[in-house]
Structure formats: C-alpha cells, structure tokens
Amino acid sequence: EAGVAQSPRYKIIEKRQSVAFWCNPISGHATLYWYQQILGQGPKLLIQFQNNGVVDDSQLPKDRFSAERLKGVDSTLKIQPAKLEDSAVYLCASSLGQGSHEQYFGPGTRLTVT
C-alpha cells in the first residue's frame, strides 16, 4: 500500500513570495490533515478535511494560508505572501475517516523563508 505522498520535499523562497505544497493521501482515506511543525516543536494542526469539506481550520492563518481538496482526494496548501516565521516542515496526514484511530503521515515539505 502506497503511503502519503508530498511534494516538493524542500523549498526555499524569499519573504513575500508565494509557495504551494501538494499532498496525495493513501487511497480510500477520507480525512486529510495539514500540520505545521516548527523546529523544536511538535506538529500543530492547520486544517482538516473530511472528503472535500473543511472540518477544522481554526488554526489556519487565513490572511495568508489557503488549502483546498477539490475532488476529495489530493490537496494543496498555499502560502501567499510568505513570512520568515513560516519556515517549518509542513506535514500531510490521512486517515480512513472520522472515528478512525490512526493518522498516517507523509514525509513532509521543509520550507525555508529567507
């Protein structure tokens, strides 16, 4: 079974530029999560999708971050414009659905904003 795929693995941009990350969850997984992991901290949930609907985006900085999962499968997370404090690893995870116990994580995208 293929795992959660993310691209790119690394990205370096200057502040005020825009960037997009892509995630393809495990086949059949209805729930998709985006986490931000700042160096030295644990992952923090940014947004959760159930199929193509948003379940929780309470910690998503909506003035600069956006995410979509139009067909209920893969998802993109965008930052526009980026700030220095956005430097982090962005992790995508998926699970079978609400009530499922386990989230499966992708390898992450390491973003450096200079």
Partner 1 sequence: AQSVTQLGSHVSVSEGALVLLRCNYSSSVPPYLFWYVQYPNQGLQLLLKYTTGATLVKGINGFEAEFKKSETSFHLTKPSAHMSDAAEYFCAVTSDFQKLVFGTGTRLLVSP
Q: Is 91 in the site for partner 1 (CB under 8 A)?
A: yes
Q: Closest distance between partner 1 and the C-beta of residue 41, in Å?
A: 6
Integer angstrom CA distances of residue 26 from 62, 77, 89: 26, 17, 20
Half-sphere exposure of 27 (CA within 13 A, CB side): 2
Number of residues that bind partner 1 (CB under 8 A): 27
Q: Near partner 1 by CB under 8 A, which window of 14-22, 65-73, 74-82, 93-101?
A: 93-101
Q: Does 77 bind partner 1 (CB under 8 A)?
A: no
Q: How far is CA 90 from the centre of its chain?
A: 5
Q: Which of 8, 15, 17, 55 binds partner 1 (CB under 8 A)?
A: 55
The one-character DSSP state at 85 is: G
